[in-house]
Structure formats: structure tokens, C-alpha cells
């Protein structure tokens, strides 16, 4: 039996791929964070649902993978599992390896893809950095500077704070930059929004509280 890790898109359920849909239909148990599960409730009728919670996540994943010895399991992953979700995916991979259960990743549409489409940008002209990581982020911040020095657009997932984008802007400004930046919130949701800044100072001075669904494009010129 299989544990599917399914990329379900960045918000609008219509971004679920046909392959992801079939894997859900092929699974008896569906696992995910509440916000993601709720989005797909119309197609989850009759499934056993496991809502993950931060405190018990590891234990819950151990239990569902154990069940995958007899049933297919679908783990729904916001966006694409290969974009800024490595710690979550690695956890599942390790549990599956321990229990000798097969794991299959089904790619999805990431917030990164949607942002590139909005900007009309090819992946070839960008560098991507996520600050959604545990521990020290200074190496990742330096990576943003390197991307901009290469003349590329830096696409950044900021730290999950209300002022995550302002923190990135401050770091770059302290390092001698004052470039243009666009900040997208809640891409593909009905209330998605774009805030555009001619320079980093304007973003630093913006008192807007950003949501936890925020992604930035920082332009080198
Ligand atoms: C842990 S990362 C996972 C990213 C996800 N795997 C993806 O492919 O989009 C979660 C962060 O991605 C960004 N993000 C995800 N969906 C978004 C959306 N619809 N609009 C803007 N940013 C988004 C937010 O910064 C969010 O806190």
C-alpha cells in the first residue's frame, strides 16, 4: 500500500491536479491540516479524516503510516510538496522508511508558480529562498543578496510573522539596497492582494500586518 503526499495547490481547490484527485479517491484515509482538509471536504465524503495538530503531529503521522500497511493514505500538502515543505516531507519519508511503506509524491501547483504567472516571469530568471525554516536564517538572508547580485529576481517566502516582509526589507536595506518589491497575499483566494513598493523604505514604513500567506518578489533593478 502507498502513502501519497499530494500537492493540492495554493488555495483555490481548482488547482488540484487530476492525478492528485485520483490519488485521493484511491485512498481510504485522508490526512492534513484543518485549512487544507476543509478546502476539499466536497470530495472527501466517506473518507476517514485525520486532522493534524502541531503538538501531536509526529505521533499522528506514525499512526497513519502504520495503517498504510493495509490501506492507501493521502496526505494533503498545501501548494507543492517540493516548495518550502522539506521538513514535513522528510518526516513522512523517514517514518515510511522505518515502517517499510512506499511513499509517492504527487506534484502540485505552488504559490511560487502562481506568483511567476502573475509577474510573467520564467523560473530561469529568479532565485527562490524560503525563510520558513527552523533555527538561524542568516545563511538564507545572504542567499537573497546573492540572487540580487546575480541580477535575478529574488522570490522569498518571508518568516511567518505579521511583519515578515518588512524584516526582509530591513535586512536588505541595511546591506545597501533600496530596490523595488512586490508582496502578494493569499494568492488564488477570493481576497488575494498585491502591494507594490517602489523601494524598500516604502515597505519598511508600511504598518500593514501581513497574513501568514505571503510571498515576495524582490527586483534587482
Ligand atoms: C511552509 S510554506 C509551503 C509552501 C507551499 N508548499 C507552496 O508550494 O506554496 C507556506 C508559506 O508559503 C507561502 N504561501 C503559500 N500559499 C500561499 C498563497 N496562496 N499566497 C501567498 N503565499 C503563499 C506563505 O508564506 C506560507 O506561509
Domain ranges (residues) in the chain = 2-106, 111-218
Q: Is the beta carbon of 20 within 6 A of some atom in ligand 1?
A: no
Q: Which of 14, 200, 196 is nearest to 119 (CA)?
A: 196
Q: Is the beta carbon of 78 within 6 A of some atom in ligand 1?
A: yes
Q: Could you tell me the distance, in angstroms and rounded to a whole number, from the CA of residue 19 to the centre of ligand 1?
A: 21
Fold for 2-106, please state it: Cobalt-precorrin-4 Transmethylase; domain 1 (3.40.1010)
Q: Is the beta carbon of 149 within 6 A of some atom in ligand 1?
A: no
Q: Could you tell me the distance, in angstroms and rounded to a whole number, from the CA of residue 78 to the centre of ligand 1?
A: 7
Q: Looking at the structure, give the CATH architecture of the domain made up of residues 111-218.
A: 2-Layer Sandwich (3.30)
Q: Over its length of 221 residues, how does the chain's per-residue pLDDT go in tens digits?
A: 999 999 999 999 999 999 999 999 999 999 999 999 999 999 999 999 999 999 999 999 999 999 988 999 999 999 999 999 999 999 999 999 999 999 999 999 999 999 999 999 999 999 999 999 989 999 999 999 999 999 999 999 999 999 999 999 999 999 999 999 999 999 999 999 999 999 999 999 999 999 999 999 999 97
Tell me the DSSP string of 70-123.
Answer: TS-EEEEESB-TTSS-HHHHHHHHHHHHHHT-EEEEE----HHHHHHHHHT--G
Amino acid at each position: 500500500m502507498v502513502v501519497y503526499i499530494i500537492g493540492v495547490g495554493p488555495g483555490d481547490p481548482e488547482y488540484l491536479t487530476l492525478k492528485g484527485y485520483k490519488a485521493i479517491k484511491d485512498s481510504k484515509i485522508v490526512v492534513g491540516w484543518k485549512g487544507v482538509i476543509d478546502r476539499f471536504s466536497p470530495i472527501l465524503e466517506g473518507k476517514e479524516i485525520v486532522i493534524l495538530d502541531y503538538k501531536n503531529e509526529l505521533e499522528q503521522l506514525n499512526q497513519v503510516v502504520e495503517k498504510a500497511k493495509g490501506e492507501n493514505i493521502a496526505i494533503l500538502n498545501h501548494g507543492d510538496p517540493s516548495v518550502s515543505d522539506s521538513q514535513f516531507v522528510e518526516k513522512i519519508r523517514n517514518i515510511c522508511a522505518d515502517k517499510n511503506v512506499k511513499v509517492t509524491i504527487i506534484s502540485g501547483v505552488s504559490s511560487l508558480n502562481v506568483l511567476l504567472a502573475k509577474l510573467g516571469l520564467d523560473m530561469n530568471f529568479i532565485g527562490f529562498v524560503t525563510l520558513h525554516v527552523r533555527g538561524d536564517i542568516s545563511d538564507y538572508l545572504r542567499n537573497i543578496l546573492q540572487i540580487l547580485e546575480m541580477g535575478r529576481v529574488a522570490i522569498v517566502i518571508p518568516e511567518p510573522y505579521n511583519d515578515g516582509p518588512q524584516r526582509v526589507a530591513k535586512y536588505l536595506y541595511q546591506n545597501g539596497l533600496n530596490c523595488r518589491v512586490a508582496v502578494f497575499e493569499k494568492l488564488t483566494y477570493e481576497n488575494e492582494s498585491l502591494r507594490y513598493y517602489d523601494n524598500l523604505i516604502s515597505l519598511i514604513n508600511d504598518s500593514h500586518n501581513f497574513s501568514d500567506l505571503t510571498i515576495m518578489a524582490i527586483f534587482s533593478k
